[in-house]
Structure 1
């Protein structure tokens, strides 16, 4: 059963709706409660989304007022007019990119139907309701709590998963240990998806700067994770008695220790090239099994190169790199203290 709580968005919705109704009532507007309804509809999860949704609703309401004025005055105020009005208005709202404003506009158009008359005072009343409802929602949405702390922790946890995966790969190559349950694979996939979603919200909460570091970071890790998954079935085909398997294990173990927001790919690309040269200097395979092992080694080397080149293209943020390192260090100290 979900835990009962009042979130910041619920709080903003409650305060915004009450404030809109208060202002509309203070101005003695007809249907003043509708200002609160408009505010509730305009509260969004990000600042940019709020602006986009508000613009769509304003545009749709203005078109709805024009359509309503024409249809009601030409045909009259009865249910057939409402049916015809909706048949004309809804496709128009979708065509002009204002489909999120349909519900709000319906409320406004039904006000005209209730009053059974269209004049300047009525139109001004409806426009003021729209301005109050949308305006208060925009003000409420100016506050969005920062999720950078959560994103940083996702980053730390994801790198922990990568570190564990490479260690498990190295362990299998060295000892043939197959007791690993692969939990880090599932965890890494979840952290990447959650991280990307949170990062997109973070971008949409900034008007003056395009803070997309975290989004690019999780996209980079997503590409690397695809490489990790592609390597997994080939690891089990390597014979741990081969010296090349031992060297590959040492490489992966070293790689696990270097998983961080910083960029150490240049060093590992050099090490990878050394491994490749060693393979190329080996004698040709004499048996089918040797051929399959050699093929697996070359494939893994190719994928590891893709993994490192993906990281090489990523531009780390020095400030955030220090923050991640500090959080990981503090967490490690806390874990040691509890043992």
Structure 2
């Protein structure tokens, strides 16, 4: 059954429409032949990121120059015949692959067909095609300098991820206080949110010509590392079978971590609480049963994993916005 997607006009669609119209208008006002072809250049060079746009423009510039070279030399020598056109394409496409500009093949073929259909192949035709290239590629470049900011979307992902991690720590605190002995937590949604957030952050990296990294991307990467540790903590919590004198203190530690998930400089105080719990272990008598020993061992492992979780955030530092990065 045919399924229709929601109708909407995106930012890229607007840029393409405006750019095509400008390309045709400018080329026509300059009296260029085949002026509509400038619109083809524009639509093929409008990309989702600035870096992809620059790559597309460069590929089309190089491949079109090669095509003009073939058209200006081969057609006058062998004639404007279909077999000559096929012969040129036979050698032209492998050449673009060699220069890694095969993305511009379609545009180049359009230029090549202009030479194929031209009444006279001379310097005026070459200049006409070069002007079409200049107009189309310049407009595409200008259009692609206008890119939407992803900062609001990335901040929304950040808040969502922190809310899910906060919920996990509250659940851990409840498990340690024995109000709920076990808790069936799922990390799938959290991991999916992090993957989506990293995808958006990576797109934002490609929207800048100078900056080659993104503070948000490293932040989401840090959170992904922490989720791996949270899963290990959850495993050990579910395998504690008896009560332990340390559990209330661990429950308080997890509650403190839940309350301070989104703070940039909370790790030092939480690490102090954690080390204090570990020091108390040395003063406690040894467990007197197998289950009690197993629970104590699980608590010790949980404390080590929690320390690793906190150290990851401590090493990350704080999330800097773009205008704060020198």
Question: Same fold by TM-score, threshold 0.5 exceeded?
Answer: yes
Q: Equivalent of 1:124, from 106, 127, 141?
A: 127
Pair 1:108 & 2:111 matched: yes
Pair 1:166 & 2:169 matched: yes
Distance in 2 between the 1:225 and 1:38 partners?
A: 45
Superposed CA RMSD: 2.7
Contact 1:220/1:314, CA 8 A, preserved across alignment: yes
* Larger displacement relative to structure 2 (310-319 or 122-131): 310-319
TM-score normalised by structure 1 residue count: 0.83
Deviation at 1:182, TM superposition (A): 3.5
* Larger displacement relative to structure 2 (232-241 or 250-259): 232-241
Q: Which position in structure 1 is the counterpart of 2:37?
A: 34
Q: Which position in structure 2 is the counterpart of 1:194?
A: 196
Distance in 1 between the 2:182 and 2:263 partners?
A: 29
Q: Which position in structure 1 is the counterpart of 2:16?
A: 13
Instruction: Name the SS for the 2:177 alignment partner.
Output: helix
Structure 2: state its 5+ residue gaps: none
Provide closer, same or farther for how the CA distance between residues 295 and 92 of structure 1 changes in structure 2, counting only shifts above 3 A: farther
Q: Equivalent of 2:317, from 290, 315, 318?
A: 315
Superposition map of 1:1-339 within 5 A: 2-73=5-76, 75-115=78-118, 118-175=121-178, 177=180, 182=185, 185-207=187-209, 212-239=214-241, 241-284=243-286, 287-317=289-319
Provide closer, same or farther for how the CA distance between residues 138 and 318 of structure 1 changes in structure 2, counting only shifts above 3 A: closer
TM-score normalised by structure 2 residue count: 0.86
Deviations 1:245-303 (A, max 9, x none): 33222211111111015121122222222223333555555554344434433332222
Matched length: 319
Deviation at 1:16, TM superposition (A): 0.5
Higher helix share: 1
Deviation at 1:97, TM superposition (A): 2.8
* Larger displacement relative to structure 2 (228-237 or 169-178): 169-178
Deviation at 1:165, TM superposition (A): 0.8
Structure 1: state its 5+ residue gaps: 321-339
Provide closer, same or farther for how the CA distance between residues 26 and 252 of structure 1 changes in structure 2, counting only shifts above 3 A: same
Provide closer, same or farther for how the CA distance between residues 290 and 82 of structure 1 changes in structure 2, counting only shifts above 3 A: farther
Provide closer, same or farther for how the CA distance between residues 318 and 19 of structure 1 changes in structure 2, counting only shifts above 3 A: closer
